[in-house]
Structure 1
């Protein structure tokens, strides 16, 4: 029996075992695969920050996973924290290079969303919806809640894409009433190694297809896949923009540049890029 005043260690919560790094490397670092290296650290501030700081020396396909993030970040520097080994917190380094025009690189966070959703459907048996531009939603008792998020940042000659996903958070551990975890959504598997392999293999597939198409989201099938899984489309939303400006309209499409198209009451179709948005909310509060 563990004394009540014992210090926590990597085995202190047997429901949340550490990742098996050799097994992950054997399964993912294969000839012809996108992934070239994979490291797991016990704790760090932010895997995105760590990779961005080393971007000049990184090979494409570098993967960094943290068992715990103490200063994880979402869009607009919003914080993302969770108990150690309760989720997947990782970043990858991608270099589209000359194959993809820079103006199409904005599709990478949307691509990561599609890859994560399709990977989780197979590995966890969970239907994951996408809230434009970067949130991962699951259903908990009929309510749509956020279980993960994506952050893409230019670094060096490429892009660092970070994914944070709540896996085994219990109800009492959730940071907000609108948050969720795969466990609470009824996942058939919460084995983090299985989930990480599934997401990274899916990301490999979608990235290779997109890059082969020159970053053309329509030709690669990415645009259609994103639209099919996007919970934002078809809803009336309010977009809060810089300068205390807001736009209300029905989200009718995601265009070829990854922008959300809102159809306003006066008949104007207004495209919004992820960089424009401070908040995006459903006018009926169903999309948080």
Structure 2
């Protein structure tokens, strides 16, 4: 038998019966409707990055707003700051969506990853029965054994002049011995009432459709659609002493006191200055 003939490890979608594959046709029947946001839902067995794939399709006209691309496994997934991560096949929900909010000023598009965070947290809280929180700007937190753990993340990237591709990764059935780092978590470890990925994915996408629609109707203003209020209420970063690791190697330490109208995290420093942070890595320095 040549190396090419050797079956790939866990190549069968039924190799782990606790992690059955998604049914793309059932998802399309449940999510794609006349007048709705979602136009197509595709599930692929494996890819490098759903964000990269969907951005490429948008660039050459093969994808329009409302396209959803789901991967059972990613081997070149990217997070913020170009961090790389992998997870066992079918252990989570890894998907990207294409949005083209033409009626919203580009200056307000920075709210899209925060909006997605609110939508994901809301959908999962309802469907999985797990208390969730958001770490600014786009990490999903759950509690495992009394400890705050990261169970998901969001990455928004421009797709040409008119669109944004938003990628979501959520650990669903990741077991303790599969955690990539000690501070990672999953819905299963947090005591989810269900780890069936089909209803979880539907809940997140329906919640995202709802929040995106309200935000668009408000012209991207996070006030009237209650996005700023809701994000603030669910943000675990606020009220914490944090260190912001900023682009260019500069650090800023202070108390996170607000999320402003542009979606920036406002830090109150020891000098009594309130400084907004629009990009950077946030480290929680003490428990809430």
Q: Verify same fold: TM over 0.5.
A: yes
From 33, 41, 46, the equivalent of 1:43 is: 46
The partner residue of 1:126 within 123, 127, 130 is 130
State the match for 2:207 in structure 1.
202
- Per-residue deviation, 1:282: 1.8
**What residue is the counterpart of 2:87 in the other structure?**
82
Give the deviation of 1:6 after TM superposition.
8.5
Q: Which residue of 1 aligns with 2:3?
A: none
User: 2 CA distance for matches of 1:55 and 1:170?
Assistant: 35
Q: CA deviation at 1:93?
A: 0.0
TM-score by length of 1: 0.94
Verify: 1:249 aligned to 2:254, yes or no: yes
Structure 1 equivalent of residue 190 of structure 2? 185
Equivalent residue for 2:104? Answer: 100
SS in structure 1 at match of 2:121: helix
Find the residue that maps to 2:120 and give its secondary structure: helix
- Counterpart Cα distance in 1 of 2:9 and 2:118: 40
Q: What are the equivalent positions in structure 2 for 1:147-158 lying under 5 Å apart?
A: 147-156=151-160, 157-158=162-163
In 2, the alpha carbon distance for the partners of 1:148 and 1:121 equals 13
Cα distance between partner residues in 1 of 2:51 and 2:8: 32
Number of corresponding residues: 278
- Which whole-Å CA distance do the structure 2 matches of 1:19 and 1:243 have between them? 42
Please report how far the alpha carbon of residue 283 of structure 1 lies from its aligned counterpart in structure 2 after TM superposition. Answer: 2.2
Residue 63, structure 1, aligned to residue 74, structure 2: no
Distance 1:87 1:6, change over 3 A: closer
Residues 99-127 of structure 1: per-residue CA shift (max 9 Å, x gap): 10001000000000000000001110011
Q: Which runs of 5+ in 1 are unaligned?
A: none
Alignment of 1:23-34 (within 5 A): 23-34=26-37
1:205-258 Cα offsets, whole Å, 9 max, x none, are: 000000000000011110000000000000110111133311111101000100
Deviations 1:71-105 (CA, angstroms, capped at 9, x unpaired) = 110011101210000000000000001x1000100
Q: What RMSD over aligned residues (CA atoms) do the two structures have, in Å?
A: 1.2
What's the CA shift string for 1:47-79, capped at 9, x where partnerless? 000011111312100000000000110011101
Partner of 1:73: 78
| Structure 2: gaps (5+ residues) | 1-6
Inter-partner Cα distance in structure 2 for 1:232 and 1:7: 40
The TM-score with structure 2 as length reference comes to 0.94
Q: Is 1:224 aligned to 2:229, yes or no?
A: yes
Structure 1 partner of 2:283: 281
